[in-house]
């Protein structure tokens, strides 16, 4: 219907109850009608009520003229906490960290114009990584829209392509419905960011309230259950595979801890090998012998070769990203591909899939396990033993091996020690973008979902510090570490003030190699070692910087002192920056050079000369 049901059924727009023989309405209905009639609540009040009804307990935001009425309401209440960031990009990343570590929606509030445009990078990041975020943006009053008014930006226009959906609220009666829809759209199906643009007059004018239960979207219906025929067919293919592999990604985490459990259960039932994408880490326990490690450009040798040589590939909540497939025409040529994904546009996008199953990972896996058990499937044990034998040979190459040193800290070693010394406390890890991110993915082991927050799709430097703030807000008692690079750290370091203000004891573990290491690595491999603009010149003194912010700074330069520094970092009850001086020339291996197929991996420094990167590869990123 054109307008949503704003009134309880059986009432007219004037609020008079019709069609009832009893003169008095039941109390619940009476309350509802009363609420409709005394429409004294302003738009701003309605927003807070809607947020409370959505279970929101924290907002990440930054004020400005157009959202002042909302900030006034925030001031008057104390059930929703507001975390004041220092830059709107930080607000969105913090909300992403909050969302990824809890499974809930992260909520952002920013002002119009520059507030909204500053949020765009964060929104795009959430879009690429399927993170549920609702972002409220201020807007000039409705009668000024389109006039180039002060701090006006066409926010819905600017964010249309970087949000799952967006709204401009032009009528007060739409406000409550739009907010509830925004939460539904952000958190269901394939999650993503939703922007709600709020003209200032809408915040001030009275508005009616509708509870979430009375809002049903007109067209939005994500498919949750998988087609049972397809599921049966898939089980059949899986059971008869000789060289199977599970290739699983962020969609499993999106689906929730229950889905991760089911994935683990099904994988153990089959005895098949499993690999995870960067976004999927934690969806399956890293310590399980069936886990082959991460796959893709910086994935393990065994994972990539198993992907290349498999005969049945089961993609679960993974989207065949180019970091994963390498050269498309050489990607796993002999495999029959099954893909479970909630978003039909993720299927047959880069790689043709033989058997797509559209639905939620958790629901589909549940059905698969049922069918598997009902049919008493038993894989071909001889073939499987052969397959594992080959995999073990690949594994024996020990592709993550690196040369240790007594004099200089190897970045891989720093991550390994961080992992060993913190693992008991089940830390939550965020990262920035670059080599340190890849080493973290390779050397930190995750046993559970929602403990690994990284920017995968957009690769946003500056993500990790604000994200760690959001994570720490959601998990006040946990150890939260941002594994950082010195260049990425510089991109959103202002958020250190946020951490100090709210006493969030985040640890920023900076692998300081004095280079934009990932850029330097590509320049070394592709551009003849001409390190154009990739040196981190004029770095601030990180220890003094920490002190200037009211945090603690530590520095470590010798491998022998690393453990003590990490312990010290953990013991400090407050935000800490650790300047870990690591080998500036270390490169991240294994690496599948762009444009190369999976079997052409560079395993170490010695490989790089023997396999020059093709011209076609050099065009790719």
Contact 576, 551 (CB under 8 A): yes
Work out how close the CB of 157 gets to another protein at its nearest, in angstroms, rounded to a whole number.
Answer: 7
Q: Is 368 a catalytic residue?
A: no
Contacted entry of ligand FAD, another protein, ligand TPP, none for residue 278, CB cut-off 5 to 8 Å set by kind: ligand FAD
- By CB under 6 A, the residues from 55 to 114 that bind ligand FAD are none
- 277 binds, options another protein, ligand FAD, ligand TPP, none, Cβ within 5 to 8 A by partner type: ligand FAD
Query: Quick check: 433 binds ligand FAD (CB under 6 A)?
Result: yes
Is there a contact between 431 and 482 (Cβ–Cβ < 8 Å)? yes
User: Is residue 486 close enough to count as binding ligand TPP by CB under 6 A?
Assistant: yes
Task: Report the Cα 380 to chain-centroid distance in Å.
Answer: 37
Does 200 qualify as catalytic in the annotation?
Answer: yes
Question: What is the smallest separation between the CB atom of 411 and ligand TPP, expressed in angstroms?
Answer: 7
The C-alpha atoms of residue 361 and residue 509 are separated, in whole angstroms, by 34
Q: Which residue in 310, 299, 314, 317 sits closest to 332, CA to CA? A: 310
β pairing state of 452-453 and 428-431 = parallel
Residue from 118, 513, 587, 600 touching Mg ion (CB under 5 A): that is 513
Catalytic residue check, 164 = no
With contacts defined by CB under 6 A, name the span among 23-31, 247-255, 422-430, 519-527 that binds ligand FAD. Answer: 247-255
Phi, then psi, of 340 in degrees rounded to 5: -100, 120
**Count of residues near ligand TPP by CB under 6 A:** 19
173 binds, among ligand FAD, Mg ion, ligand TPP, none (CB under 5 to 8 A by kind): none
Q: 244 or 485: whose CB is closer to ligand TPP?
A: 485
Contact 483, 431 (CB under 8 A): yes
255 contributes a contact to ligand FAD by CB under 6 A: yes
Q: To the nearest 5 percent, what fractions of the chain are helix, strand and coil?
A: 45, 15, 40
Crossing angle of the two packed helices 361-374 and 228-239, in degrees rounded to 10: 60
Q: Is 459 in the site for ligand TPP (CB under 6 A)?
A: yes
511 binds ligand TPP (CB under 6 A): yes
Give the C-alpha separation, 601 to 612, whole Å: 11
For ligand FAD, which stretch binds (CB under 6 A), given 54-62, 93-101, 294-302, 599-607? 294-302
Do 322 and 457 contact (CB within 8 A), yes or no?
Answer: no
CA–CA distance, 167 with 172 (Å, rounded to integer): 13
User: Does residue 91 contact residue 60 with C-beta atoms inside 8 Å?
Assistant: yes
Backbone angles phi, psi at 576, to 5 degrees: -130, 135
How many Å apart are CA 29 and CA 9, to the nearest integer? 10
Q: Is 512 helix (H, G, I), strand (E, B) or coil?
A: strand
Task: Write down the residue that tokens 């603690």 correspond to.
Answer: 552
Q: How close are the terminal C-alpha atoms of the chain, in Å?
A: 47
Nearer to another protein, 150 or 220 (CB): 220
Q: Choose the contact partner of 319 out of Mg ion, another protein, ligand FAD, none; CB within 5 to 8 A by kind.
A: ligand FAD
- The answer to whether residue 88 is catalytic is yes
We find the least distance from the C-beta atom of residue 416 to ligand TPP, in angstroms, to be 16
- Of 348, 371, 31, 385, residue with least CA distance to 234: 371
Q: Judged by CB under 6 A, which stretch of 115-123, 138-146, 336-344, 408-416 contacts ligand FAD?
A: 336-344
Binding residue for ligand TPP (CB under 6 A) from 69, 115, 244, 517? Answer: 517
C-beta closer to ligand TPP: residue 309 or 587: 587
Q: Which stretch binds another protein (CB under 8 A): 213-221, 377-385, 410-418, 569-577?
A: 213-221
Element (H, E) at 177: helix 175-187
- Tokens linked to 402: 């690196």
432 near ligand TPP (CB under 6 A): yes
Active site residues: 88, 150-151, 200, 518
| Site residues, ligand FAD (CB under 6 A) | 129-130, 190, 249-251, 254-255, 277-280, 294-299, 317-319, 321, 323-324, 340-343, 346, 360-361, 433, 437-438, 456-457, 459, 518
| Site residues, ligand TPP (CB under 6 A) | 432-436, 459-461, 485-488, 511, 513, 515-519
């Amino acid at each position: 219907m054109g307008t949503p049901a704003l009134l309880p059924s059986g009432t007219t727009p004037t609020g008079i109850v019709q069609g009832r023989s009893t003169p008095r309405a039941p109390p619940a209905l009476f309350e509802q009608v009363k609420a409709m009639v005394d429409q004294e609540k302003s738009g701003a009040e309605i927003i807070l009520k809607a947020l409370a009804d959505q279970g929101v307990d924290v907002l990440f935001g930054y004020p400005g003229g157009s959202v002042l009425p909302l900030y006034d309401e925030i001031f008057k209440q104390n059930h929703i906490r507001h975390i004041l960031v220092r830059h709107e990009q930080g607000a969105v990343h913090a909300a992403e960290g909050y969302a990824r570590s809890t499974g809930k929606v992260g909520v952002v509030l920013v002002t119009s114009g520059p507030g909204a445009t500053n949020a765009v990078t964060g929104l795009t990041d959430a879009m690429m990584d399927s993170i549920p975020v609702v972002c409220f943006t201020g807007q000039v009053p409705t009668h000024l829209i389109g006039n180039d008014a002060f701090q006006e930006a066409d926010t819905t226009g600017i964010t249309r392509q970087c949000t799952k959906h967006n709204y401009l609220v032009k009528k007060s009666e739409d406000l409550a419905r739009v907010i509830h829809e925004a939460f539904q759209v952000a958190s269901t199906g394939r999650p993503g960011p939703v922007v709600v643009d709020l003209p200032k007059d809408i915040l001030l004018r009275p508005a009616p309230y509708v509870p979430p239960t009375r809002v049903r979207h007109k067209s939005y219906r994500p498919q949750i259950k998988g087609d049972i025929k397809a599921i049966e067919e898939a089980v059949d293919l899986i059971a008869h595979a000789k060289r199977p592999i599970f290739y699983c990604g962020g969609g499993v985490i999106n689906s929730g801890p229950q889905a991760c459990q089911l994935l683990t259960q099904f994988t153990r039932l089959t005895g098949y090998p499993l690999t995870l994408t960067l976004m999927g880490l934690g969806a399956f326990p890293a310590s399980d012998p069936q886990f082959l490690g991460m796959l893709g450009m910086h994935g393990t040798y065994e994972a990539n070769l198993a992907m290349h040589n498999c005969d049945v590939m089961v993609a679960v909540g993974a989207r065949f990203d180019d970091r994963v497939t390498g050269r498309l025409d050489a990607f796993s040529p002999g495999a029959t591909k099954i893909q479970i994904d909630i978003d039909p546009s993720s299927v047959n996008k880069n790689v043709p899939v033989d058997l797509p199953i559209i639905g939620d990972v958790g629901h589909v896996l549940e059905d698969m396990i049922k069918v598997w058990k009902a049919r008493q499937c038993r894989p071909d044990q001889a073939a499987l033993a052969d397959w594992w034998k080959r995999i073990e040979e690949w594994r024996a190459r020990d592709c993550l091996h690196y040369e240790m040193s007594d004099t200089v800290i190897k970045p891989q070693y720093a991550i390994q020690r961080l992992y060993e010394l913190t693992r008991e406390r089940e830390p939550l890890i965020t990262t920035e973008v670059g080599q340190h991110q890849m080493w973290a993915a390779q050397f930190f082991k995750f046993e559970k979902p929602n403990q690994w927050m990284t920017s995968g799709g957009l690769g946003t430097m500056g993500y990790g510090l604000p994200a760690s703030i959001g994570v720490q807000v959601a998990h006040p008692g946990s150890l939260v570490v941002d594994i950082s690079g010195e260049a990425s750290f510089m991109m959103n370091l202002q958020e250190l003030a946020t951490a100090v203000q709210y006493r969030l004891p985040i640890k920023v573990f900076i692998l300081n190699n004095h280079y934009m290491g990932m850029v330097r690595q590509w320049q070394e491999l592709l551009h003849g070692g001409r390190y154009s603009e990739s040196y981190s010149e004029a770095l601030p003194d990180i220890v003094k910087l920490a002190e200037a912010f009211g945090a603690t700074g530590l520095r470590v330069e010798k491998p022998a002192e690393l453990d003590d520094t990490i312990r010290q970092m953990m013991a400090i009850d407050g935000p800490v920056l650790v300047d870990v001086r690591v080998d500036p020339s270390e490169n991240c291996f294994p690496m599948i050079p762009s444009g190369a197929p999976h079997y052409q991996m560079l395993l170490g420094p010695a490989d790089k000369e023997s396999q020059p990167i093709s011209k076609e590869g050099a065009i790719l990123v």
